[in-house]
């Protein structure tokens, strides 16, 4: 059994952070249960339910299938719906016939405030095609003050900027060609967070390998010992 959120594996016992949310708002996260074995994976104890201090504010919204064939998956959703300010915690436990990872416990947390920080990626635009150096820019604000803005490429931290205007420079290569997710995350003075994400398509033309064509000598020439001769050549392409 393997469980992912947003394409990333959640290690058994780790925490999924729902971030900061305005009181009264809701945020859903989808948990994908994958059968990585060769036999049918059977989930026990359904329906799933969260436990803990704030189980009513971090609760299971949709249920997974109970039987998952090899190399297949099912999913369930958890909704964060804070009713009052403060830090919220709960957990969900998934029991199965995978004895090595049963129960598979995942901790949950989030925070609720009346005025959460905000962040917006202002450049490049969503679904943009980029062909070289990418200047990522974001605007952020917070009533408690902005501590910093972090920029991620496909979930990997790329830059941390502590002062406005918030920006990050990314230099993809032709090996990065394809779709990528860019995320900006702001943290305010109360350690509350908010994020904004866009997708960009990298289309970098591979650098042409340099070629050297010797035009003189052409071969077969006989030069006296100690003489000086001019060698001519042409080049094609650029160094990579």
pTM: 0.63
Q: How many CB atoms lie within 10 A of CB 141?
A: 14
The predicted structure's pLDDT at residue 121: 98
Give yes or no for residue 238 having a pLDDT over 60: no
Starting from the edge strand earliest in sequence, which strands make up the sheet with 193-202, in order?
128-130, 193-202, 178-188, 146-153, 156-161
**Nearest in space to 41 (alpha carbons), one of 64, 4, 69:** 69
89 CB neighbour count, 10 Å cutoff: 17
**Average pLDDT of the chain, as a whole number:** 93
* pLDDT for residue 229: 79
Residue 240 has pLDDT above 50, yes or no: no
The DSSP element (H or E) to which 24 belongs, if any, is none
Beta bridge partners of 160: 150
| Distance set, CA 57 to CA 20, 111, 115 (Å) | 13, 10, 18
pLDDT at 20 over 50: yes
Tokens of 1: 């059994």
Q: Are 71 and 1 in contact (CB under 8 A)?
A: no
The whole-number pLDDT of residue 235 equals: 77
pLDDT in tens, 23-49: 999 999 999 999 999 999 999 999 999
Peptide bond before 165: cis, by omega within 30 degrees of 0?
A: yes
Question: Which tokens hold the place of 18?
Answer: 């729902």
Tell me how far apart the alpha carbons of residues 25 and 29 are, in angstroms, rounded to a whole number: 14
* pLDDT (0 to 100) of residue 211: 78
Average pLDDT over every residue of 42-65: 97
Residue 69 confidence (pLDDT) above 90: yes
3 state DSSP class of 6 = coil
Per-residue pLDDT of 144-183, as tens digits, reads: 999 999 999 999 999 999 999 999 999 999 999 999 999 9
The tens digit of pLDDT for each residue in 79-117 reads 999 999 899 999 999 999 998 999 999 999 999 988 889
CA distances 184 to 35, 115, 156, 171, 230, Å, are 32, 19, 11, 17, 58
């Amino acid at each position: 059994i393997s469980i992912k959120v947003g394409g990333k594996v959640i290690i058994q016992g780790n925490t999924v952070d729902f971030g900061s949310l305005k009181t009264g708002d809701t945020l859903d996260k989808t948990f994908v249960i994958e059968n990585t074995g060769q036999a049918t994976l059977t989930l026990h104890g359904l329906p799933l339910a969260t436990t803990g201090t704030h189980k009513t504010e971090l609760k299971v919204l949709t249920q997974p299938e109970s039987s998952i064939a090899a190399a297949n998956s099912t999913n369930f959703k958890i909704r964060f719906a804070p009713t009052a300010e403060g830090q919220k915690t709960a957990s969900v436990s998934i029991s199965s016939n995978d004895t090595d990872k049963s129960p598979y416990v995942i901790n949950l947390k989030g925070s609720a405030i009346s005025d959460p920080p905000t962040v917006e990626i202002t450049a490049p635009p969503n679904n943009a095609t980029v062909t070289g150096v990418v200047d990522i820019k974001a605007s952020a604000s917070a009533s408690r003050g902005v501590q910093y803005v972090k920029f991620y490429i496909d979930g990997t931290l790329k830059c941390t900027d502590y002062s406005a205007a918030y920006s990050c420079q990314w230099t993809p290569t032709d090996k990065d060609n394809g779709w990528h997710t860019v995320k900006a995350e702001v943290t305010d003075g109360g350690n509350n967070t908010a994020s904004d994400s866009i997708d960009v398509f990298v289309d970098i033309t591979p650098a042409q390998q340099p070629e050297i064509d010797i035009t003189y000598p052409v071969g077969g020439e006989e030069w006296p010992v100690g003489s000086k001769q001019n060698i001519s050549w042409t080049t094609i392409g650029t160094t990579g």
